[in-house]
Amino acid sequence: MNGEWSLDALYAGYEDEKLKNDVTNLDEACARIGDLAKTIASLPDAEALRAYVGAAEAYTRYITDLSLFSELKSSTNTRDMQSASFSGQIMAKASAVAGDFAAIEAHIAKIDGLDDIVSSDEELREYAYLFHCLKEDSRYLMSPKEEEILARMNTSGARAWSDLQAFLTSSVPVEYQGKVTNLSDIRNMAYSPDAQVRKSAYEAEIKCYDRICDAVAWSLNSIKQQVIDVSRFRGYDSPLHRTLQGARMQKKTLDALMGAIEDYGLGVFQRYLKLKARALGHEKGLPWYDLFAPMGGSSAKYTVEDAKAYLVNVFSGFAPDLADMVSRAFDEAWIDFYPRDGKTGGAFCAGLPNQKQARILTNFDGSFSDIVTLAHELGHAYHDVNIFDHRSLNREYSMPVAETASTFNENVVVSAAIRRSTDKDEKLALIESQLMDACQIICDIYSRYTFESAVFAEREARFMSADDFCGMMLEAQKKAYGDALDPECLHPYMWVCKSHYYSGGLSFYNFPYAFGGLFARGLYAMYEREGAAFVPKYRALLRATTVMSVEDTAGTAGIDLTDKAFWMESLGSFEREVDEFEALLCK
């Protein structure tokens, strides 16, 4: 096992005849869509809908594989100019048919009795929710020509600015102890058991941002201005309104979630951070470089083989099909494990729907936290496995529920470890690790949401400098963490290294982590009550995420997401862990 993934399930390379044939197939699919845009108005309604489904399914088949291949290649080597060039070519093809899709979908949205036609046609019935959303979204479509222009301009607009941020953060040299390393490596040192390593790595990280922060600030300004403009052109009230519409989520649900965090959650985790600060000898609050300091007996290191055995064993007790999928992921080179120069930082999972597989990128360093990260990304893969038997246009779940299975997996892994532990130091380490991760999805995510909201509000009036962004980030962190962190040692450059801010099509990719964490926590509580009987219900819920709204998906499990009480109950389970954490510190 060399630690790198294989993309052969997609293509063997850019000279692969299969890839060349699929480019031809994509061109033919695009031409088919163009022809349909010209003729759809002359077709009977049911025939027009079936023609749309056929053309869109063919297009989706080829655009998915071709774009995934180049994007995955680029993620492990941001200097790969061939992949960047190929990705641009594929996106140009997609941009060229954006206007045609807009014309087709605008026509469909105006069909009288659309819902009745779909429900009475066996071939179309499975796409009832798709057509419902298409009709809703048609209110925000521009003219076909405007849609085409926007799609073409995006290649050299928000997408290019996003690529610049990824390139700069993955390739910036970081000087550390007389050597040069990369940002992924230096950020991994935040988990070191050595306090001096954590502090010096933090200082090296902060210093390296001076090299790139001005360029990244231009990226952030440009992307957010494009989002504001496009939201206005389409008729959305705001970028947040656009995000919620795309998320199939009510503002009432977001308000209930954020209200519970503000009223209860921030206090719970600020108390945890103060306890940790005192335990580590800090009198002025926890310095940022010790946010991820391991506590208790957490110095164990794991190999990739250890991680596989651990995860397969744990998931076998929950759902054998999940354990089997995890085993396949390791054995069939679905995972790219180790940090290296030019590789994107962090972690992600990309589903390969046509192959019924996934590809997972991590920056594995051997800590227990890395095992939890693997569990998280494998949760995304399991979510995908449960939707792959949908037809191809029904395989995209919305942003909030995207973090459900991943965070549920974290609960399974860490809770099992805590139950099995009989050693005080080990239990302290495990509970603290879970609280540390949960603190990220509550306090850190709240700060990110606050920061992005402020950026959108301010961008309407002015272009912001790197110093402006740093100041806004510090204010957001102080609001989220209160006096639990040392105000003289925060992280003003967190806006530089988080790729979530740098998308022209997906804003506010922060609150879904809080949503997913607390939603999964509530689901895990159901599993603890119901045992094995819960697992089929869980699979059904995951499958529903692509064909129902967020609220209706939760409703399949009897959960009302617009009720603040649900979120408060999930947060309450963390308060009980803080109590146990405090008790262990006092022993």
pLDDT computed for residue 1 by the predictor: 63
The Cα angle at residue 179 between residues 176 and 184, in degrees rounded to 5: 60
| Triad 136, 350, 246: Cα angle to 5° | 15
CA distance 463 to 10: 42
- 252 to each of 142, 259, 507, 561, how far by Cα in Å? 27, 10, 18, 9
User: Which residue ranges make up each domain of the chain?
Assistant: 17-156
- Do 512 and 363 touch, CB atoms closer than 8 A? no
Whole-number pLDDT of residue 352: 97
The helix or strand, by DSSP H or E, that contains position 360, with its residue range, turns out to be strand 357-361
pLDDT recorded at residue 2: 80
What fold, for 17-156?
Butyryl-CoA Dehydrogenase, subunit A; domain 3 (1.20.140)
Instruction: Give the residue among 373, 345, 361 at the shortest CA–CA distance from 167.
Output: 345
Predicted structure pTM score: 0.84
Say if CB 61 and CB 71 are below 8 A apart.
no
pLDDT value of residue 299:
66
Query: Per-residue confidence of the chain (587 residues) as pLDDT tens digits?
Result: 689 999 999 999 999 999 999 999 999 999 999 999 999 999 999 999 999 999 999 999 999 999 999 999 999 998 999 999 999 999 999 999 999 999 999 999 999 999 999 999 998 999 999 999 999 998 998 888 898 899 889 989 999 999 999 999 999 999 999 999 999 899 989 989 899 999 999 999 999 999 999 999 999 999 999 999 999 999 999 999 999 999 999 999 999 999 999 999 999 999 999 999 999 999 999 999 999 999 987 567 899 999 999 999 999 999 999 999 999 999 999 999 999 888 988 899 999 999 999 999 999 989 888 999 999 999 999 999 999 999 999 999 988 899 899 999 999 999 988 888 888 888 998 899 889 989 999 999 999 999 999 999 999 999 999 999 999 999 999 999 999 999 999 999 999 999 999 999 999 999 999 999 999 999 999 999 999 999 999 999 999 999 999 999 999 999 999 999 999 999 999 999 999 999 999 87
Q: Are 497 and 187 in contact (CB under 8 A)?
A: yes
Give the total residue count for the chain.
587
CB–CB of 333/154 below 8 Å?
no
